[in-house]
């Protein structure tokens, strides 16, 4: 969609309909600018980039201060450029002077984030702190309020598997729709556990891979053990090394396994994005 789909020029006559009313559904970002003012250009370019990127999650309402002195006074605009965020009829953000992209993104993300995204953010924070048990408890509490939210069930399955509670995770998975959002994540993790089931310890598999570097099966088995032991990046490196030696080995086992790892990491994961690019480079 174009900028015009999410952007509108504001005046006293349309302020209530375009800002007051529409802010009840989505945040409205008010940009105060002056035509031809050089100091406004960087902020205008940034906002136009963001409004296209966010695809309707917020609306851009532009106010030419030279034509709308009444609005400038009412909203107490003291600097140029100025950016104000209105959500549900209330001021939710106020930025005077040239806008910083990171600040705007943080403010917009807080307002446009879905409840599920908020839960995931909190879970990610707990996991970064090594509090997997607390993350599981938090999910279970949220699920009690939203029993039909399959996304929460999927996240819980994944954490239970990581905690070694595989049987409990399987029972939950059995009751979920096949197309539940993110279900490939725990399913892929379970597949890796099954693949690693008959293998030796991580140290044993490392030793086997080092004895004969030409033994691609041994190197593959070592990669699987690394992934199951939460050393995912090292496991991806091991799979990439197999691709470098033989792209088609084992009916493209290394490539297909890397894709399963990407599914397990989940959509938007930085590690998955990085190694997807590396895999593409090796393949082409």
Q: Are residues 234 and 165 in the same domain?
A: no
Q: Are residues 142 and 104 in the same domain?
A: no
Please report, in tens digits, the pLDDT of each residue of the chain (284 residues total).
455 678 899 898 999 999 999 999 889 999 999 988 889 999 999 999 998 888 888 999 999 998 999 998 989 988 888 999 999 988 888 898 888 889 899 888 888 877 667 777 788 888 888 888 898 998 888 888 778 888 889 989 999 998 889 999 999 999 999 888 889 989 999 999 999 988 999 999 999 999 998 999 999 999 999 999 989 999 999 999 999 999 999 999 999 999 999 988 887 789 999 999 999 988 87
Q: Are residues 149 and 211 in the same domain?
A: no
CATH number at residue 102: 3.40.30.10
**Structure confidence at residue 116 (pLDDT):** 67
Q: Answer whether residue 26 is part of any domain.
A: yes
The radius of gyration computed from the CA coordinates of the chain, to the nearest angstrom, equals: 25
**Structure confidence at residue 181 (pLDDT):** 84
Containing structural domain, residue 259: 202-283
Rounding to the nearest 10 degrees, give the CA dihedral for residues 87, 90, 91, 92.
-40
Q: Answer whether residue 223 is part of any domain.
A: yes
Q: Answer whether residue 187 is part of any domain.
A: no
Q: Are residues 214 and 168 in the same domain?
A: no
Please count the structural domains in the chain: 3
**Structure confidence at residue 28 (pLDDT):** 92
CATH number at residue 209: 1.25.40.10
């Amino acid at each position: 969609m174009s900028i015009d789909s999410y952007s509108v020029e504001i005046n006293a006559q349309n302020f209530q309909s375009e800002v007051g009313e529409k802010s009840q559904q989505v945040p409205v970002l008010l940009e105060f600018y002056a035509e031809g003012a050089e100091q406004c250009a960087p902020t205008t370019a940034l906002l136009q980039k963001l409004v296209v990127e966010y695809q309707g999650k917020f609306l851009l309402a532009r106010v030419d201060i030279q034509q709308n002195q009444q609005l400038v006074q009412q909203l107490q605009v003291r600097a140029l450029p100025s950016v104000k965020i209105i959500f549900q009829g209330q001021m939710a953000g106020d930025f005077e002077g040239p806008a910083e992209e990171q600040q705007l993104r943080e403010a917009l993300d807080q307002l446009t984030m879905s409840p599920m995204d908020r839960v995931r953010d909190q879970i990610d924070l707990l996991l970064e702190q090594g509090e997997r048990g607390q993350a599981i408890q938090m999910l279970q509490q949220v699920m009690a309020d939203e029993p039909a939210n399959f996304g929460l069930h999927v996240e819980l399955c994944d954490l239970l598997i990581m905690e070694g509670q595989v049987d409990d995770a399987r029972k939950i998975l059995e009751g979920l729709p096949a197309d539940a959002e993110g279900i490939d994540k725990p399913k892929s993790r379970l597949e890796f556990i099954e693949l690693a089931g008959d293998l030796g310890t991580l140290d044993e598999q490392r030793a086997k891979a080092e004895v004969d570097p030409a033994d691609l099966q041994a190197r593959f088995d070592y990669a699987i053990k690394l992934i199951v032991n939460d050393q995912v990046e090292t496991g991806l490196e091991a799979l990439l090394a197999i691709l470098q030696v033989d792209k088609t080995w084992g009916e493209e086992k290394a490539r297909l396994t890397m894709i399963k790892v990407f599914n397990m990491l989940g959509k938007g994961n930085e590690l998955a994005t990085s190694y997807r690019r590396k895999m593409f480079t090796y393949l082409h």
